[in-house]
Amino acid sequence: MEANEMGNYFEDFVVGEVIQHSQTKTIFESDNNLFSLLTMNHHPVHLNSDYAEQKQHGKILVVGTLVFSVAVGITVMDISGKAVANLEYESVQHLNPVHINDTLYVRTKVLDKWETSKGDRGVVYVETFAKNQHGVDVLSFRRKVLISKK
């Protein structure tokens, strides 16, 4: 068995291709609590069951930036493992709520790519969607990644 190589080179990306990322992540209460504490987001809808039960969704909501961070992390092995830099994140949309014990599944579509003037790298433009265990999209975002060539 060969070791899994981190990331893909610029040439490996095909415009229009959809990548179903193999990693997944269930968001546990401890994940949400720690992220809330680390990022100073102490809103009770994320940390207080009694408060959250009285609000629109009836239970604790996972912090949106945690959902975003996990979705980005899931893509690293396939998208940005050979990145020189993440250049831009755009159009981050929280499409549906994420709750404790929801599992995230992520897919990315290659929208475009172009070479840079340096010649040893290029920009890959992708759109990523995260869905929950029920197949409902919960997050989408686009980003531009500067990736090494072979």
Give the CA count within 13 Å in the CB-facing half-sphere of 73.
10
CB 139 within 8 A of CB 73: no
pLDDT of residue 6: 87
Q: Give the span between the Cα atoms of 59 and 140, in whole angstroms.
A: 22
Q: Which domains does the chain have, with CATH numbers?
A: 10-148 (3.10.129.10)
User: What is the chain's pLDDT, residue by residue, as a tens digit (150 residues)?
Assistant: 566 678 899 999 999 999 999 999 999 999 999 999 999 999 999 999 999 999 999 999 999 999 999 999 999 999 999 999 999 999 999 999 999 999 999 999 999 999 999 989 999 999 999 999 999 999 999 999 999 999
Spatial neighbors of 30 by CB under 8 A, at least 6 apart, are none
User: For the chain, how many helices (H) and strands (E)?
Assistant: 4, 6
Six-digit token pair at 110? Answer: 């290659």
Rounded CA gap, 133 and 43, in Å?
25
Token couple for 122? 């290029």
- Note the residue count of the chain: 150
